[in-house]
Amino acid sequence: MQKPHSTGSVQSVKKLASGPVIINAVLFQITWFACALGAAKGLLWPAIAACGALAVFQLQSKHRHPSDVALIATALALGLVIDSAWIQLGLISYATPAPVAALAPAWILILWVGFALTINHSLAWLNLHPLLPAVAGLICAPLSYLAGVKLGALAYQGDSLLISCALGVTWAIAMTVLVQVSRSKST
């Protein structure tokens, strides 16, 4: 005999399919492509415009989550450290490596900002189980970076399997940190 769904679970699922959540997901996908394709073409303005639209929508008081601003700050710090480390380790080179070639490029930091704005919205399902952020980071991040490679936004500078494994482990940790920031600011 199955247990009936709790009211909270049903409401959580309904919230995940709401208009603002769908808009958040679509705006982030636009941001991702604007960042990757813009970088491949040497253009920063598409990333700024797309992420700006996401930020304007998501940071309105009626859509903003209490931890959104903290998530942006955390994501920027993580992005600067992680993506700069790939450069310093000689594992990844980024198209349009501006403003400083030795550090994570502006376009990927903008992408981190956009990603931060999904954690409480279109990626809120990551809060359903403590292991979901790590599993999602482990699987999805290497696929996302590989898509960036295919679009010309970045290039692997070594064994792609080794780099993918390093990306997965690093993003498993980063996703867990971001979801923890979200939870800590929600209470």
Tell me the pLDDT tens digit for each residue of 96-153: 888 888 999 999 999 999 999 999 999 999 999 999 999 999 999 999 999 999 999 9
Residue 81 lies in a domain: yes
Which range of residues forms the domain containing residue 71?
7-186
0.95 exceeded by the pTM?
no
Burial of 5 (0-12, 13-18, 19+ CB in 10 A): exposed
Reply yes or no on whether the pLDDT at 158 is more than 90: yes
The strand pairing partners of 92, in sequence order, are 156
- Which two structure tokens, joined as six digits, stand for 75? 């994501």
Residue 150 lies in a domain: yes
Residue 127 lies in a domain: yes
Residue 2 lies in a domain: no
> Long-range contacts: 66-69, Cβ < 8 Å, 24+?
66/185, 66/186, 67/119, 67/120, 67/181, 67/182, 67/183, 67/184, 67/185, 67/186, 68/116, 68/117, 68/120
Residue 157 lies in a domain: yes
State the total domains in the chain. Answer: 1
Residue 15 lies in a domain: yes
Residue 152 lies in a domain: yes
